[in-house]
Amino acid sequence: MASASITFKTVLLSTILAAVLVNSYRFEVGDEKGWIKPTGKDPQTYNQWAAKNRFHIGDTVYFKYRNDSVLEVNSADYLNCNTSNPMSKFEDGNTVFQFDRSGFFYFISGQSDHCKVGQKIIIRVMHPSEVESPGPAPSPGGAGGGWDSDNWEPPGINSTTKLYALSYFTTVVTGLFIVLYLFM
């Protein structure tokens, strides 16, 4: 009987771990270039890169760098490239930072001259999405409350919803594979 209890706990722990791992994403800051001092010839700034991505609680950002550091700072220190009062300081060359809340996160290079030429980034972490109740049904008379009377399709699903749906589907499939592996 004890082995069944241990097996159940193992399955439960594995499923929870799989759900956490599948529902977060790791972003590499600067893509293949990494966290480097901008040359002025770069096709995009770090903030342009951040604006193209959607960050959620649980996601991580990976900073890869040499002979530098990454500082998490407040907004005033970000604007002034002030390196003397960081909230967190990382110097290992391979920094992984996990977002534990929604809101803005400010990162700068530990070398103020690098920061002043653009080696800094603001990352906005999205609030968890809430399920919205459906709007009112269109009236039978065709006045429709803003709906096009020729188009009875619901509005499209945005990319974030699709990503969450895919993530949960992947979690379920992974959990099933783990259960099958442990019991077969």
Q: Give the burial string for 143-161 (b: 16+ CB within 10 Å, else e).
A: eeeebeeeeeeeeeeeeee
Show Cβ contacts of residue 31 under 8 Å, excluding neighbours closer than 6 positions: 49
Q: Is 134 a member of any domain?
A: no
Whether the pLDDT of residue 87 is over 60: the answer is yes
Cα separation, 174 vs 14, in Å, equals: 10
Q: Is 140 a member of any domain?
A: no
CATH number for the domain including 104? Answer: 2.60.40.420
Instruction: Give pLDDT, residue 98.
Output: 96
Q: Is 49 a member of any domain?
A: yes
Cα separation, 47 vs 118, in Å, equals: 9
Instruction: Give pLDDT, residue 77.
Output: 97
User: Model confidence over 118-172: pLDDT tens digits?
Assistant: 999 999 999 887 655 566 666 665 554 554 555 555 555 545 555 666 676 777 7
SS3 (DSSP) at 39: coil
Q: Is 95 a member of any domain?
A: yes
User: Model confidence over 6-59: pLDDT tens digits?
Assistant: 666 666 556 555 554 445 678 999 888 889 999 888 767 899 999 999 999 999
Q: Which two tokens stand for residue 13?
A: 């722990």
Q: Which two tokens stand for residue 183?
A: 């019991």
Highest-confidence segment of 2-6, 109-113, 153-157: 109-113
Q: Indicate yes or no: pTM above 0.85.
A: no
Domain range enclosing 123:
2-128+159-183
Q: Is 141 a member of any domain?
A: no
Q: Which two tokens stand for residue 79?
A: 């604007």
Instruction: Give pLDDT, residue 76.
Output: 98
> What residues form DSSP beta bridges with 55?
125
What's the structural domain count of the chain?
1
> What residues form DSSP beta bridges with 89?
71
> Are 29 and 61 spatial neighbours (Cβ–Cβ below 8 Å)?
yes
Q: Where do we find the tokens 């009875």?
A: 152
83 pLDDT band, cuts 50/70/90, is very high
Instruction: Give pLDDT, residue 17.
Output: 54
Q: Is 51 a member of any domain?
A: yes
Q: Is 136 a member of any domain?
A: no
Instruction: Give pLDDT, residue 65.
Output: 94
Label residue 99 exposed, middle or buried (CB < 10 Å: 0-12, 13-18, 19+): buried
